Chain A
Amino acid sequence: MEQTKKLSGETLYKAFIYLALILLAVTIIIPVAWVFMASIKQNSEFYGNPWALPAGVYLQNFADAWSKARMGEFMLNSVIVTALALLILLVVALPASYTLSRFEFKGRRFLNALFMGGLFINVNYIVVPIFLMLVDGDKFLKGIIGNGFFLNNIFVLALVYAATALPFTIYLLSSYFATLPHDFEEAAYIDGAGYFATMVRIIFPMAQPSIVTVILFNFLSFWNEYIIAMTLLSDPNGAKTLPVGLMQLTQAQQAATQYGQLYAGLVLVMLPTLILYICVQKKLTQGMTLGGLKG
């Protein structure tokens, strides 16, 4: 009797757990799936029951979003900015973290503390001072060569992205480099390799796992970022990144009600990150603990 009572309590508890978990999973899946569904609906279908399945596959939304709402152009910009920012970031951060973690020199502790302090500076605070600095730079250039360069320039945006990601990236890479034994470099030096060759041919290939993590996390943050992009690409008819273009569309949507285009645009922003996530989800959830937090 006792046994069965305990057992039924146990099953009840299990059932409750499953119910709670499924409920949470559903609240996450449904909104995302709903956007995909809405992206193939015709505009007239958005009035009335929001749960209705799409009447047909209306791909015109994507074509409209791509050309009319300039999403194609914005997507290309986003790809360029993200790729370029990642490239700059790696070229700058890899040698810096290597020297900061493995060489003894004057000022090393100071620089380490400086970059650590950078972890506490959030981009949202400094976005306006950066903007003003670029405005002043443009004014200065206009006096000399007649037109500005810094604002509304996706290459400058990529540079700013890379710079603001430096503290986190250097922190992550340095803590990895610090774990490698010094024997590798000793052997390389003795075989006659210079500092540069040692770094590029011996150390960097060994750091591959943490480089992948750095690329993953920064890809997500660059691709999804919109505050800096919105501020530095201020020309309404100029270049934009995908999230900024999308935000414009959401604000225009209230007036013009182009729902179909909006949801097609949302799918365009989400899809690359979702595909990447499905491919590397294990890596991503593992990488979270890489910072070295022990429970």
Chain B
Amino acid sequence: MKKRRCGLHRRFFKRRSQSCAAIDRKGVMAMTKRSGRSRFIVLCLAAAVILFTVFMIIPTLNIFRMSLFVRSAYSTTEEFVWLQNFTRLMADSNFIRSMQNTILLIVVVTVVTFGLALIFAAILSREKIKGQNFFRIIFYIPNILSVVVISAIFSAIYDTNNGTLNSLLSFFKGDTVAILWKGESMVMVSLIIAMVWQAIGYYMVMYMASMASVPQSLYESASLDGAGRLTQFFQITLPLIWTNIRTTLTFFIISTINMAFLFVKAMTSGGPNGASEVALSYMYKQAYTNSTYGYGMAIGVMVFLFSFGLSALVNAVTKREPLEF
């Protein structure tokens, strides 16, 4: 077969001084000498590189550059102010509050989501549950809905007078409950509930997939040794999928910073009185709504550095020897 191909090849490319033996030996490498190869590569890559550069690299570099300038809405002139934007930022109590809210959301949403997702995934993948597929399909639904939709749904749930949550609580208490779910004291709790609701299914489905690859024999021998369900979960399941948990944890923390922005923007607009402002929503407010671009970009730089530092920290803290099975 190889010989015949080679003969064909020789007939086709007679004008070229390639020896057939070289092709057999080097395979694709021999093709590299064909003309038009570099032109083909350039053509294939050009559009992607241009789009990526124009709409991602340049804007990213611009964040850092603009954070050192003052630019107002109605003129394109920029004034270089060194680190003035950052020193102002350090004294801005609204910014500090928004960072506190961001950290609160990261910690609580991550702990609750991961805890619940791991427990439910362990149950669904270990026990013989009827309708397992049905539960999996349902749990994934929040992930495919737009944050705008989820926010509108939760606004209806949280409505003080006609909301489903208050009416449910009234039913159990036997008295009218009128909690201001989106009031200053409860707004962060409301955000946390909505964000956990949105994220939990995705991580559950992901952990179910990785738990399914843990060999059944390990559990069988553990249960012969008298290990209960909890021991099995902590001694077998968790250590064996640790690499996956670690990766998703880093990813989740970064995405929580972004999801918090999406939820706040659609659900509360940072209100009331900035009680639910998070870092990125404050950046957007400063940069887009107030048109103080330099100041907004300085916030962007801070959040960027914060998220990088945090993911490096999480990576370092969760480092374990990977276990093989």
Contact = CB atoms under 8 A, between A and B. Distances in A.
Interface string A32-43: 101100100000
Contacts, number: 265
B56 to A, nearest CB: 6
Given A128-B288, A266-B153, A186 B141 contact: no
Interface residues of A, number: 98
A124 interface: yes
Contact of A288 (B37, B163, B205, B247): B205
Contacts of A146: none
B52 A167 contact: yes
B266 A247 contact: yes
B270 interface: no
A46 B47 CA distance: 52
A28 B31 contact: no
A92 B51 contact: yes
B149 A266 contact: yes
Nearest to B164: A50
A163 to B, nearest CB: 4
Contacts of A162: 51
Contacts of A269: 146, 148-149
B287 interface: yes
Contacts of B129: 17-18, 21
Contact of A128 (B76, B152, B201, B297): B297
Interface stretch (A53-61, A63-71, A207-215, A277-285): A277-285
Interface in A153-176: 159-160, 162-164, 166-167, 170
A93 interface: yes
A227 B164 contact: no
B252 interface: no
Nearest to A221: B146
A121 B303 CA distance: 12
A284 B152 CA distance: 25
Contacts of B38: 105
A164 B243 CA distance: 28
B113 interface: no
Given A50-B162, A124-B261, A139-B76, A243 B146 contact: yes
A250 B152 contact: yes
A133 B56 CA distance: 12
Which has the most chain A C-beta neighbours within 10 Å: B124, B146, B155, B248?
B146
Contacts of B266: 226, 247, 250
Given A129-B66, A139-B76, A289-B209, A103 B41 contact: yes
B59 A166 contact: no
A115 interface: yes
Contacts of B32: 104
B63 A186 contact: no
Interface string A170-192: 10000000000010011101111
B157 interface: yes
B145 A121 contact: no
A95 B141 CA distance: 33
A224 B31 contact: no
A243 B284 contact: no
A183 to B, nearest CB: 9
Interface in A222-279: 223-227, 231, 243, 246-247, 250, 262, 266, 269-270, 273-274, 276-277
Interface string B36-55: 11101101110111011011
Interface of A: 14, 17-18, 20-21, 24-25, 27-29, 31-32, 34-35, 38, 46-51, 91-93, 95-96, 98-100, 103-105, 111, 114-115, 118, 120-122, 124-133, 136, 139, 159-160, 162-164, 166-167, 170, 182, 185-187, 189-192, 194-196, 199, 220, 223-227, 231, 243, 246-247, 250, 262, 266, 269-270, 273-274, 276-277, 281, 284-285, 288-289, 293-295
Given A129-B62, A266-B153, 17 more contacts: A28-B139, A38-B156, A99-B44, A99-B45, A114-B57, A124-B261, A125-B63, A128-B297, A128-B300, A129-B60, A223-B146, A224-B146, A269-B146, A269-B148, A281-B140, A293-B206, A293-B248
5 contacts: A35-B149, A95-B48, A124-B258, A246-B149, A277-B140
